Structure 1
Amino acid sequence: MVSFNQQGINCTVSGCLDQEAVRSLWNGRSSILDPDTAFLWLSEIEYCDSAGVAFLLELVSTFAAKGASLKLVSPSEQLKKFIILYDLNDFFIEEAK
């Protein structure tokens, strides 16, 4: 199970972001985050598979299509393995600036 905890412009994602979670979130993906969200904090993700990574990138794309920027910040250790494996460094930052 995955949860999104919104606090102002920050949203912390925690739990398991896998194919099953993505399937349950997909239809509502455009309303998961507040429109003014700027940072998606990922350090509390316990497990993430390739579907979860694709979902995170879809959220970034959704914001970009609306002319907004969504930064993926502070990926968990497990998520960092995917970032390295798929060369996704340009999409994730260690800490918000």
Structure 2
Amino acid sequence: MATFKQQGDNCSVSGRLDQDAVIRLWSGRSNILEPDTACLQLSGIEYCDSAGVAFLLELVSIFAAKGATLKLISPSEQLKKFIILYDLNDFFIEEAK
């Protein structure tokens, strides 16, 4: 299961973000992050599948609908492989700037 740890305007995600985790997190997705969150730090993700990537992009979409930007930063090595495979580079930032 993935855990989200808020630290100011950053939130770190760790653990597994797979289909089972997404099913558990889905109903609370609009409230999982503080409204002022600017960056979602992804280096702690041990495993992520397509449902997990879709969940991350849904969080970005929720922020965009509110006129805010949520940056997905520092993807884990396992997540980087997924990003390359599905050409998702435009949605993820290698390192925090």
Task: Give the TM-score range, shorter chain.
Answer: over 0.9
Q: Which runs of 5+ in 1 are unaligned?
A: none
Partner of 1:84: 84
Local SS of the residue matching 1:90: helix
- Could you tell me the percent identity over the aligned residues? 81
Aligned to 2:13: 13
Pairwise CA RMSD: 0.4
Residues 46-65 of structure 1 aligned to structure 2 (within 5 Å)? 46-65=46-65
Which residue of structure 1 aligns with residue 70 of structure 2? 70
CA distance in 2, matches of 1:86, 1:53: 10
State how far apart, in whole Å, the 2-side matches of 1:94 and 1:6 are: 20
4+ residue stretches of structure 1 with deviation over 6 A?
none
- Structure 2 residue runs of 5 or longer lacking an equivalent are none
Matches of 1:49 and 1:94 in 2, distance apart?
Answer: 19
Q: What letter corresponds to residue 25 of structure 1 in structure 2?
A: L
Normalised to the residue count of structure 2, the TM-score between the two structures is 0.99
TM-score by length of 1: 0.99
